Structure 1
Amino acid sequence: MEMVVQFLCARYPRLFTYSARTGRFWNGVRRLSFDTRRLEPLRFLLENVPEDFAVMLEDKATGHYHLRAGVVLSAIGWNMGTKMGKALHEIHTPVPDYTKIGGSVDRYFANVACDKPIQRGSWGLEVGQPLYLQPGDAEWATRAAQDPALRLADVHLRVDWQTLRRLPRSRAVVFNFKALFTPLEDLRREPRVPRLLATVLREGPPAILEYKGTHHTLHVALPALDAWAEEQEEKGRVPRGWKARTLDENPFYPGWEQGLESKCYS
């Protein structure tokens, strides 16, 4: 809560203010005041920021990190009730091949530094913009079949932008994320991306693609991505016959240096 207050007031000083004398935080977006000395910290996060938070604490006896607290409102296929108290390897049981990397992930968590937060993105294709969806929900059943009436305009790329950050006093690792949706049609303007995504959807490990739950969108997404990839080659936006592959350095892409120069001098 303290870190969020510091960030909001420094980044958006016209919208958020904090009084060290009274402990009150003013949210100019919602036009509400909050007493940070009385309000439970997770409740404060729930009321003031759109990101989700999960607090992982180390078990000193085993060295494993366990989920001990959090506020999560934008999960697909899981919820806090099914994960609370579990260790990382237990939380990630549904993830294919996680057992191969579980030990290294635990060591990675142990070495996260307070001043070096880590960011990554987790992606999938969705119909509409489902923020919170659980097995048993009526909409969940639609993910098992391909709707012939599905429109391209209804398919979105969902990316959960995730951050891992060490808290300085408790030494807990906070895992926080925010879901962002992009209409699939927007990728038409992104050089190389349509062919790259189509290649991943066709050639990616079947277990991973099944875990991501992309099947219900493929009959609409793949033909569109193929058409856009061909269009980009015909218009000379990408070299014809280039091999779709991820880049050696992320998140860079071909031509990023020119884009940086144009931004610096514009």
Structure 2
Amino acid sequence: MLEYTSIYVLSASFLVGLPFAVLLYAYINSRRSPKPNRDGTLRILKEKSPNLPPAYPLKAYTLAQITSIGPFPCYATLTGVPLPEPYHAFDIKTAKPRPYRPFRWAYHQTMSLTRLEPNWWLELEDTYSTRLLQRSQILQKYKTKIIDRHLNISNPWRVEVACQELMEMVIQFLCSRYPQYFHFDTSKFVFLNRILGREFEVYKMDPLDFVFQNVPEDFAIVMPDDGRGGKYVFVAGMICSSVGWDLGEKIGKALGEIHGVVPEYKEKMERSMDRYFSKLTTDKPIQRGSWDIVVGEPLFVCGGEKFNKRRSGQDHNIKEEDLTLRVDWQTLRRLPLSGGIVFNYKALFTPVKEFEDEPGVPALVEKVLREGNKKILEYKGTWHVEHVVLPMLERMKRRQVEMGVWEEGKEVRTLEESPFYRGWEEKWRNQQEF
């Protein structure tokens, strides 16, 4: 009797799941084998169909609706975020990242969000090729600690849709922003990367692997899971720039579990962040930055215990020229079809000595390190370099007073140009020779 019951249950399960399987197959097949128009151009969704729901999360797209849209839709139309303007003056050989200085005073734990600038979602620099090679070597060593998916959620098909969306959005951005370096062949569906001298048949690749091979940034996709009360869960991504932890530790966890070690997160941020995520619409992507003062340029450090032990003491062999500002410049945006949210960040390194001609920066950083929230500073581990960086900042501040770019006794607060500083653009352009 038990054997027959199992057969009936299995048959019933198959019949219930068959429509879903057919739709998922149709979706994947449509994305990997898109059909061009008669003139050879790729089908692009020009206008929102009146039959489609408004931007998520007001109402989610179904798999059937997503399949009906077809391959490679226009994400500017779907999201309400315009494609970036072409950056014709950009030269990959001399390009420098914008000099982000995301320092704040008063210094306490907040999300510190601002509206994303569409032109700067992905930002390339002269380290592009060497950083991609470095990340590839890290991937070979750590594998699923770097790239992975978590499909154990209420709607696992949305994870695959989200990965595909991310790849297509990256392609559209790169080709629009840097047309001198990237091209997408709409008849063969081949992405040409002129910097690397490589072609990619995008619909024959894992979308996460494609992004990893072409963009030296980290991406994490989070998605609400009905099975966990609608909490946002880390379901897919590639993390190659983390220090003290790895993707393998975080994949499959909810936001609160991931940020549990962050000081004051649960008390001050957990509820507001979950609420913010649930209301984030596709047309309102945001950006923020986090920072640290480090020795050298540590890109990926696996193993928090070993890393924390290294920061528990003060090495008196450290020199001023060894100190680097590490900024993780982050963006957050809703994916229009899957309803997931993609978080990405780029690790940027700048010698601390660069602060010397940046008005107000030395005074602000010194103030934060001396008087900032002790719990946050302890979490960052700044103490292990303070014996070198604080005298350095004090000297820079006095020098700026002498030069007339900073006033003695002036109230220290977040710079008006935040996340930059006064006169940043002229210096930045001169460094790039254009």
TM-score surpassing 0.5?
yes
5+ residue gaps, structure 1: 260-266
Distance 1:225 1:247 in 2: 16
1:107-126 counterparts in 2 under 5 A? 107-126=275-294
1:40-119 counterparts in 2 under 5 A? 40-61=206-227, 62-99=229-266, 100-119=268-287
Q: Single out whichever of 79-88 and 137-146 deviates more from structure 2.
A: 137-146
Give the residue type in structure 1 aligned to 2:250. Answer: K
Contact 1:134 1:140 in 2 (8 A): no
Give the residue type in structure 1 aligned to 2:232. Answer: Y
Structure with a larger share of its residues in strand: 1
5+ residue gaps, structure 2: 1-166, 428-434
SS at structure 2 position matched to 1:45: helix
Contact 1:125 1:157 in 2 (8 A): yes
1:238 pairs with one of 402, 406, 418: 406
Structure with a larger share of its residues in helix: 2
1:160-171 counterparts in 2 under 5 A? 160-171=328-339
Residue in 2 that maps onto 1:27: 193
1:190 pairs with one of 352, 358, 368: 358
Note the C-alpha offset of 1:174: 0.2
Distance 1:85 1:95 in 2: 18
Give the residue type in structure 2 aligned to 1:158. Answer: R
Q: Single out whichever of 15-24 and 46-55 deviates more from structure 2.
A: 15-24
Give the residue type in structure 2 aligned to 1:169. Answer: L
Note the C-alpha offset of 1:235: 2.0
Contact 1:69 1:84 in 2 (8 A): yes
SS at structure 2 position matched to 1:144: coil
Contact 2:218 2:345 in 1 (8 A): yes
Residue in 1 that maps onto 2:182: 16
Distance 1:14 1:150 in 2: 42
Distance 2:171 2:384 in 1: 40
Distance 2:404 2:418 in 1: 24
Distance 2:310 2:320 in 1: 16
Q: Single out whichever of 2-11 and 241-250 deviates more from structure 2.
A: 241-250
Note the C-alpha offset of 1:13: 1.0
- Per chain length, whose mean CA-contact separation is higher, i.e. which structure has more relative contact order (CA < 8 Å, sep 6+)? 2
Question: Is it true that 1:180 corresponds to 2:348 in the alignment?
Answer: yes
Question: Is it true that 1:223 corresponds to 2:391 in the alignment?
Answer: yes
Give the residue type in structure 1 aligned to 2:249. Answer: T
Between Structure 1 and Structure 2, whose CA radius of gyration is higher?
2
Give the 3 Å change call, closer, same or farther, for CA 255–131 of structure 1 in structure 2: closer
How high is the TM-score relative to the length of structure 1? 0.91
Question: Is it true that 1:214 corresponds to 2:382 in the alignment?
Answer: yes
How high is the TM-score relative to the length of structure 2? 0.57
